[in-house]
Chains A and B, each alone.
Chain A
Amino acid sequence: MMPTAHRRLVFFLLVILSTASIIMAAAAGSVSLGWEQWTNALLHPDSEFGELVWRLRIPRAAAAWTVGALLSLSGCLMQVLLRNPLADPYILGVSGGASFATLLGMTIGVTTSLLPALAWAGSLISILIVFSLARGEGPWSRTRLLLTGVVTASGWAALISLLLTLGSDSSLRGMLFWLIGDLSYARLPSWALATLVFIFLICLGLARSLNVLAMGETTARLLGEPTRKLLWLVYLLASILTATAVSIAGNIGFVGLIVPHLMRLIVGSDHRVLLPAAALFGGFFLVISDTLARTVLAPRQLPVGVVTALIGVPLFLLLLNRARVKQ
């Protein structure tokens, strides 16, 4: 367990990082602003640069932060649920359903504003398919859930490939960006933020139960957890988090896998500390990644999923290596 003072310092730093990343995102972009222009823009939302900062950059950064936090929380939950440190938010096919529905919408030419709703519907269908097939009678079986989820995900992947081969060349680019994960058109709907806050609070209440659950179902039951109910609840919460994130920004990879790991290395595995730390760092990480995605090759914009992978993979390997040396 971390000493309280140490824990406070970590949280203080994480809050600073998140805030700083959003400020940086508001300042950086293909139109570079001087310090004076920038403060002016912040103070006068109606000016030309004010519109740019308040209407485009800050909403996009807020969306990025929320998606990062959603995916990181979902990753933490999935790893406990499957008791496997390799689990990520997409492993059980939630994003597959969302992707298929969205790409289908793009193929038949649904207006862009309806795509998040379609993604949500696709996720929900996938969640319900996996839930009803894996539930069965008798005790909870992690293997059954994992296999059902993974096979469902493969099914969606096949359907997505089919749509990609049938799609017109003009729509392919949009589809590809969505599949890699892209925040170009992302805005932060208030319901997504509400979902994040609401589920985060539930998870914080369950945090000690999650600690016990991470030690295995039998141990958890012996310590008083009704594991069957608890595990399905964790499955549903993680799936809703994933569905919300995917409906905003597509399949952004690596955040939900790497952030929980990084935070476990830094703050330890007590979920009462891990969950808020992962949410804060996940938000920070995605805001930075997205800022890079739109500035590195400006005015060209990269899908943020490319950047998360390019930063995430070496960072993760480095930290993992350092942690092993320390041990």
Chain B
Amino acid sequence: MIELACKHLDVRIGGIDVAADLSLELTPGEFWGLLGPNGIGKTTLLKCLAGLSPPASGQVFLESRDINELPRKLVARHIGMLQQHTVYVFDSSVMQTVLTGRHPHLAYWEREGPNDLQKAHDALKAVELNGFAGRSVTGLSGGEARRLAFAALLVQDPEIMLLDEPTNHLDLRHQVQIMGMIRDRIGRGGLTAIAALHDINLAARYCSHILMLLGNGDWIAGRREAMLNETNLEKLYGCPVEMIQGRNGTHFHPAAG
């Protein structure tokens, strides 16, 4: 059971406070939704949690060791991140791209074995890209590229998944499919995820915990039921929100506009 935690974390970017004195523990079994308006620093916070950029102060711990002092290869075996955008400068095949997820698990001269190939095939199948293995990545649609990036994350198989807007570019069915897949993997035990989301209803349906970035470094965090309500959401987005009880749980809609 691998745990990601941060203590007294100050995250800043370009003179803006993203989060001040943030202390969190992402315990296995939890699925965190990271909510906040555009430009508030969701990506910056995720990058800091991934050890990509050092915090202004405070520390991020992977298994109680400072993530910025661990070798990247070790970190990559436990933490994976789905980035918001993927840009391919050089052409490459779908299979080759999805296999890059095995990179942290292989030694320098090692080649991917049958086991790695099997994982890659399974992941492509899971995101409905089977049959795409030989296709070129530059010819994929936005949604297909997104699912390919997610498949590479599945192949990397980290205990902690950091997801930057995982449902971007995806149609309704694939949104539900991917969010469901993340929740199911977490449910099987030993895993944690935190996903930056703009869709409150996806957060309401799939996440167990919510972290809201309110601006000026202010944040609130807690269990979903306690966090998702009209008061918090109106404060978060500066827009009136209406809460509707449906057959499948609570739904949120903008109340005006």
Total of A-B residue pairs, C-beta within 8 Å:
84
Assess whether A166 is interfacial by the CB under 8 Å rule: no
Interface residues on chain A, number (Cβ under 8 Å): 30
Chain B's closest residue to A2 (CB) is B93
Chain B residues near A264: list those with CB within 8 A: 90-91
Within 8 A of B (CB), among A194-230: 204-206, 208-209, 211-212, 214-216, 218-219, 221-227
Chain A's closest residue to B94 (CB) is A1
Are A218's CB and B52's CB within 8 A? yes
Of the candidates B91, B108, B156, which one forms a contact with A206 in the assembled complex, judged by CB atoms under 8 Å apart? B108
> What would 8 A/B residue contacts be, using CB atoms closer than 8 Å?
A83-B89, A211-B100, A214-B89, A215-B100, A222-B80, A224-B104, A268-B91, A269-B96
Alpha-carbon separation in the docked complex, A326 to B104 (Å): 34
Q: A224-B75, A224-B77, A225-B72 are in contact. Are A85 and B103 (CB under 8 A)?
A: no
Assess whether B71 is interfacial by the CB under 8 Å rule: yes
Chain A residues near B72: list those with CB within 8 A: 221, 224-227
Are A269's CB and B76's CB within 8 A? no
Chain B residues near A205: list those with CB within 8 A: 108-109
Assess whether B166 is interfacial by the CB under 8 Å rule: no
Of the candidates A79, A272, A327, which one forms a contact with B139 in the assembled complex, judged by CB atoms under 8 Å apart? A327
Chain B residues near A212: list those with CB within 8 A: 100, 103
Chain A's closest residue to B74 (CB) is A224
Please list the residues of chain A having a beta carbon within 8 angstroms of any beta carbon in chain B.
1, 79, 83-85, 204-206, 208-209, 211-212, 214-216, 218-219, 221-227, 264, 268-270, 272, 327
Chain A residues near B89: list those with CB within 8 A: 83-85, 214, 216
Q: A206-B108, A208-B103, A223-B103 are in contact. Are A269 and B75 (CB under 8 A)?
A: no
Chain B's closest residue to A205 (CB) is B108
Assess whether B136 is interfacial by the CB under 8 Å rule: yes
Of the candidates B87, B99, B101, which one forms a contact with A216 in the assembled complex, judged by CB atoms under 8 Å apart? B87
Are A223's CB and B76's CB within 8 A? yes
Chain B residues near A269: list those with CB within 8 A: 90-92, 96
Assess whether B106 is interfacial by the CB under 8 Å rule: yes
Q: A218-B83, A224-B73 are in contact. Are A268 and B101 (CB under 8 A)?
A: no
Alpha-carbon separation in the docked complex, A47 to B141 (Å): 66
Alpha-carbon separation in the docked complex, A225 to B89 (Å): 19
Alpha-carbon separation in the docked complex, A215 to B139 (Å): 16
Alpha-carbon separation in the docked complex, A212 to B104 (Å): 10
Please list the residues of chain B having a beta carbon within 8 angstroms of any beta carbon in chain A.
47, 50, 52, 71-77, 80-81, 83, 86-93, 95-97, 99-101, 103-104, 106, 108-109, 111, 134, 136, 139, 156
Are A226's CB and B96's CB within 8 A? no
| Most A C-beta atoms less than 10 A away, residue of B74, B93, B103, B104 | B103
Chain B's closest residue to A208 (CB) is B103
**Contacts A215-B88, A225-B103 known; 18 new A-B pairs at CB < 8 A:** A1-B95, A206-B108, A208-B108, A211-B103, A214-B92, A216-B87, A218-B52, A218-B83, A221-B52, A222-B50, A222-B76, A222-B80, A223-B76, A224-B74, A225-B72, A268-B93, A268-B96, A269-B90
Chain A's closest residue to B105 (CB) is A224
Are A224's CB and B103's CB within 8 A? yes
Of the candidates A85, A209, A226, which one forms a contact with B71 in the assembled complex, judged by CB atoms under 8 Å apart? A226
Alpha-carbon separation in the docked complex, A205 to B108 (Å): 6
Alpha-carbon separation in the docked complex, A270 to B139 (Å): 18
Chain A residues near B136: list those with CB within 8 A: 327
Are A223's CB and B156's CB within 8 A? yes
Chain B residues near A268: list those with CB within 8 A: 91-93, 96
Alpha-carbon separation in the docked complex, A327 to B138 (Å): 10
Chain B's closest residue to A82 (CB) is B89
The 4 A-B residue pairs whose C-beta atoms are closest, nearest first, are A224-B76, A224-B104, A224-B73, A223-B103
Chain A residues near B81: list those with CB within 8 A: 222
Nearest Cβ distance between residue A278 and chain B, in whole angstroms?
13
Chain A residues near B91: list those with CB within 8 A: 264, 268-269
Chain A residues near B71: list those with CB within 8 A: 226
Q: A216-B87, A269-B91, A270-B96 are in contact. Are A223 and B104 (CB under 8 A)?
A: yes
Are B139's CB and A211's CB within 8 A? no
Chain A residues near B86: list those with CB within 8 A: 215, 219
Alpha-carbon separation in the docked complex, A17 to B208 (Å): 62
Chain A residues near B76: list those with CB within 8 A: 222-224
Alpha-carbon separation in the docked complex, A218 to B90 (Å): 16
Nearest Cβ distance between residue B83 and chain A, in whole angstroms?
6
Of the candidates A84, A223, A225, which one forms a contact with B101 in the assembled complex, judged by CB atoms under 8 Å apart? A223
Alpha-carbon separation in the docked complex, A211 to B100 (Å): 8
